Structure formats: C-alpha cells, structure tokens
A and B are shown apart, each in its own frame.
Chain A
Amino acid sequence: GESVGLHLPTLSVQEGDNSIINCAYSNSASDYFIWYKQESGKGPQFIIDIRSNMDKRQGQRVTVLLNKTVKHLSLQIAATQPGDSAVYFCAESYGNNRLAFGKGNQVVVIP
C-alpha cells in the first residue's frame, strides 16, 4: 500500500506499552478537534473527537487531551497493539464543516 509515513515523525513503541502522539494546532478560535488513523493503503478513519469546552475525553483504549492555553492536542493509546501501527492525524475545525489537518505522526508497534 501507499506509504504516507515518509518524512513523518515516527514513534516506535513496544507492544503492550502506552503511546502518546502530540499535535500543535494553529487557530485559537478552533472549537472542535478530531484524531484520525490512517493505515497503509486506506483512507483516514475517525478515532475520537473533543470540543474546546473539554480538556479530556476517553474512548476505548484512547484518550484525547486538549490544552487550549498552548494550543496542544495529544492522543494516548493504552496497551498498544500491532493493529495500532498507522499514521495518526489531528484535525481542527475552522468552521462550516471544514477541517485543517496536521502533517501526521507515524506509529510503529514493535511485537
């Protein structure tokens, strides 16, 4: 499949460990944020979202943290599994259903 991970920051993590992926966003007026996962050869898939009136939201094995003061977003993956190997993108909503995507982070899970 197509490798979109070229030239991206890469996080190598041992299977079973926790992963933390960071993202800096640009627009202080953004009020909604999404994390997407993109596996090789596939389109991005929604993982979790968070509104700007929250600072933390949890899903199944994933947690998103939002720090509006420094315009920083992070995705935590608990007990990382081989299937978590992918490129992860953060996206911020700048109104009217439009999203601005970050450049992405490659996660490689070591069995």
Chain B
Amino acid sequence: DADVTQTPRNRITKTGKRIMLECSQTKGHDRMYWYRQDPGLGLRLIYYSFDVKDINKGEISDGYSVSRQAQAKFSLSLESAIPNQTALYFCATSAHSGRIDEQFFGPGTRLTVL
C-alpha cells in the first residue's frame, strides 16, 4: 500500500550495530504498529502506538525500541542487533474511527543480521 512506506526496504548489518527502521504514512491514521514476520510463524506484534504520546509493548518487544515522532511517523530501533532479529519487518496503521481493527500494511523491510 503506497500510503504506508517503509525505509529501507532491505538492510544487511552486523551483530552489535544499532539499526533504525522508518515508517511513514499519509493515511491520516492515528494508530501505528510494528510487526516482525518469520517463516512459518506469521506476524508478531513488537510495539504499537495509538497516538504521538502513546507507546505500548507488544508480545515480542525485548531488544527493540520505538519512537513516534509525529502522527505520520513511527520508527523501530534495534539498539544492538543480533542474528535472531533477522526477519521481515512490517509497519501497519489503523484509524480509530474506521473499520474496526482493519490494519493497512507497508511493503516491509527485510533485515539481515550477520
């Protein structure tokens, strides 16, 4: 969905490096989410934010942090990357007043930690 963009699309890094993944949306949604996807495991929620002042941990937040710089921007950081953080990362957005719980996903960031 072109309304939700993620940068970079691909990243290879080394163990111990700090990495930031960016997400921007033009949908005007107030809610944003970060997921990781691993083969055979589906999507798992890392962090979510319901507005600029709201940050919540998801089911697998250890090793990650987030920043909601503005309504349209939600970044995910890996403070010290490790190989088991190699995965596909997706950002998603939803509207408080829209179809309940429907989330719109970005194209994903493929992260490889060596």
Residues of chain A whose beta carbon lies under 8 Å from any beta carbon of chain B:
2-8, 32, 34, 41-46, 49, 89, 93, 97-99, 101-104
A-B interface contact total, Cβ < 8 Å:
68
Quick check: A46 and B107 within 8 Å, CB to CB? no
B43 within 8 A of A: yes
Size range of the chain B interface in the assembly: 20 to 34
CB neighbors of A among B65-114 (8 A): 88, 90, 92, 94, 96, 99-108, 110
What are 6 A-B pairs at a CB distance below 8 A? Answer: A7-B39, A43-B1, A43-B90, A97-B48, A98-B45, A99-B103
Residues of B within 8 A of A45 (CB): 1, 105
Residues of chain B whose beta carbon lies under 8 Å from any beta carbon of chain A:
1, 4, 31, 37, 39-45, 48, 50, 58, 88, 90, 92, 94, 96, 99-108, 110
By CB atoms of chain A within 10 A, which of B31, B102, B104 has the most?
B102
